[in-house]
Amino acid sequence: SGRMDVYKSVSRQIHEIFHEYTDIIEPLSLDEAFLDVTENKKGISLAVDIAKEIKQKIREQLNLVASAGISYNKFLAKIASDYRKPDGLCTIHPEQALDFIARLPIESFWGVGPVTAKKMHMLGISNGFQLRKCSLEMLTAHFGKVGALYYECARGIDERPVEAVRIRKSIGCERTLERDISARSSVIIELYHVAVELIERLQRKDFKGNTLTLKIKFHDFSQITRSMTQSQELTTLDRVLPLAKELLKSVEYEQHPIRLIGLSVSNPKEEVDEQRGTWEQLSFEFSEWE
């Protein structure tokens, strides 16, 4: 029998990994999404390097394999992601795209199901090369508006942007320390710096929330979180910092040095709305850890 709660939980963890690199994420399903990493949080120049890191983190943190497709548009990225499943990594470079598409069976094209594929075969179209030889007029005559999509895909053209349709539920930041610390004075100083950065982000995004979450990762890479909700919105340093210090009191770190400190502010009202069955895509939003 299906275990939807488990699937959703794992999906959230996977998307949390995605958000380490970009917030421009367009979910296709619980286990598939487009990521626009043209401008990414870590400043990594090659998308294939980001894909490798994401695959590695999914394996290390969740003990799962993932396939990644990398290209310059959504159509080709989707094709590439399906190319070497279940643990594949495929890049389609612009200069390779037309040759790659020419070899594709027509069934691999976006929106070509069994009925359309049968019609394509009746017209003598069985692969991308044969599809590319068809005129726009011919394709639209036989397939209507979607014929224009087939025409462009056969030429490696797909102008659709990655659309992140979501509600921001939290904003956060974290700091990985140059060395592990356990002295209270050092921890408080680092907590202050994280809180200052958090306030700057809240103000820049004009975000308001009532719940503060403290994230601590220790020297052995184990981690904990502590949260507290207030009636007043957490928008200023004089509200966030005392609350962060209060949360820190429940963390034992004198014999367990700290490697990373993070803070995030979330809006509990949106979390309640999600639990009541708001649109599924809302379950994919996470703290903006960097």
Q: Is the dihedral of CA 68, 73, 75, 79 positive or negative?
A: negative
Q: What does residue 179 show for φ and ψ, rounded to 5 degrees?
A: -145, 155
Distance CA 280, CA 35 (A): 18
- Report which DSSP code applies to 160: P
Amino acid at 118: K
Residues labelled catalytic:
32
What residues pair up with 34 in beta bridges, in sequence order? 26
Count of C-beta atoms within a 10 Å radius of residue 88 = 16
Residue for token pair 């996470």? 286
Strands (E), the chain: 25-29, 32-35, 68-70, 89-91, 170-181, 211-218, 223-229, 258-266
